[in-house]
Structure 1
Amino acid sequence: METLRAFAAEEFHIVRSDWRAFLALAAQSNVQAQREFFSTVASGEGLALAKLRDFAAATGLSDDDLATYRPLPGCQSYPAYVAWLTLNGDPHDALLAILANFAEWGGYCAAIAKALREHYGFDAEGTAFFDFFAEPAPELDALGLRALDDVLATGWTPDRAIGYARLLHAYELSFWNTLAHSRESATPAP
């Protein structure tokens, strides 16, 4: 349960950061489908935040616990890099890097939701955050592909984006590895 509480608290910081980053990427883009994609993803982060609070409550955390939690650097490298991409990268590069990471994240969430139900007795409200990201989103996938097609039509090439996607993947792994080894950290108590 300690690790689940740490996950909830880390994600509280990540979701709020990514929400702002995706809105900024939408504002920076000059390709309509790309603006729509980033705006849609940002609105999803807003929906996910409420579901995350429900998960946190199911682990025994209050809103005060979430707000006062001291995040672990290895867990926060992912949103820090998304913010870096927002400020220093091209929205086109960020689009490909983020699209590459989505399927992986959804798979993690599906596995966690299943484990929470089977091994910890969490109900639908307690797993809603994970179910939200695990469920297929054909409209979002289609919008992401349309955005990528429209970006490619501008003459953009993914040379830098592939490196950015690799880094984003590495920071995602850093999140999970840090969380797995965080027993000695100050995890919020219920």
Structure 2
Amino acid sequence: MNAEELVSRIRAELHPGEHDNLVVKLIETGEAPRSVIATFAAEENHIVSSDWRTFLVLAAKAEEPNARAFFTLLAGGEELVLPMLEPLARAAGMPAEKFHGYEPFPGCQAYPAYQAWMALNGDPADVVLAILANFTAWGGYCARMAKGLREHYGFDDEACAFVDFFATPAPQLEERAVAAVQAALDGGWQPKHAWRYGRLLQAYELQFWSTLA
């Protein structure tokens, strides 16, 4: 099995069900209260700050150049989107003082905590696969939210910039990830924990949304 086949397989097996995420469905249809959107932005402010550091640790840990580039690109993305969260919270009615003083829910922060755990304990190739599997679902959620925020809440491009960013395909990121997995396979690596990492990461992702609900 080559890298592309392996990536397709883990994505198909770990992709959540259509009805697993109630919050995104409610935002998409305009039924979620604005307070939920504001809380989403405030929670993501903590998550993005954590993931930025996590991806830098993974980049430093990775010895294979494509894996290192993959994690470096992810870290750069977190840096770009961090300033986009306050406009989203503001559009949803959360003032700056409350946004910056927001105390997060444990259920929402299990996801970045587990990503940090993977940075300390995971094989980079396994982590690449797990993150790729989760990103498929996350990108889809963001695309649906972007549509709902514009159509039902009247949010402008500045307010939607965060979800727009993740809803946009990133072919360079995908290419680096596949190349990293292929290099690992060529070196004799076999995915030992990728499915476990991906399964837990996706579960913590859904825990984030259920906590918001």
Q: Same fold (TM over 0.5)?
A: yes
Unpaired runs of 5+ residues, structure 2, are 1-33
Count of residues in correspondence between the two structures? 180
- Choose from 110, 116, 123 the match for 1:83: 116
- The secondary structure found in structure 1 opposite 2:51 is helix
C-alpha distance in 2 between matches for 1:62 and 1:152 = 49
- Choose from 163, 174, 184 the match for 1:130: 163
**Residue number in structure 2 paired with 1:97:** 130
C-alpha distance in 2 between matches for 1:104 and 1:176 = 12
Q: Deviations over 1:70-101 (max 9, x none)?
A: 11111111000001111122222211111111
Tell me if the contact between 2:37 and 2:92 (Cα under 8 Å) persists in the aligned partners.
yes
Are 2:186 and 1:179 equivalent residues in the alignment? no
- The secondary structure found in structure 2 opposite 1:3 is helix
Letter in 2 for 1:106: G
- Choose from 178, 195, 211 the match for 1:162: 195
**Residue number in structure 2 paired with 1:150:** 183
Unpaired runs of 5+ residues, structure 1, are 181-190
C-alpha distance in 1 between matches for 2:208 and 2:60 = 28
**Residue number in structure 1 paired with 2:150:** 117
Q: Deviations over 1:25-63 (max 9, x none)?
A: 000001000000000010001111112222122223344
Comparing 67-76 with 31-40, which one deviates more in the overlay?
67-76
Comparing 70-79 with 55-64, which one deviates more in the overlay?
55-64
Please provide the CA RMSD for this pair: 1.1
Percent identical = 56
- The secondary structure found in structure 2 opposite 1:159 is coil
With over 3 angstroms needed to count, the CA separation of the structure-2 counterparts of 1:147 and 1:63, relative to structure 1, is farther
**Residue number in structure 1 paired with 2:29:** none
Are 2:59 and 1:26 equivalent residues in the alignment? yes
Question: Runs of 4 or more off by more than 4 Å in structure 1?
Answer: none
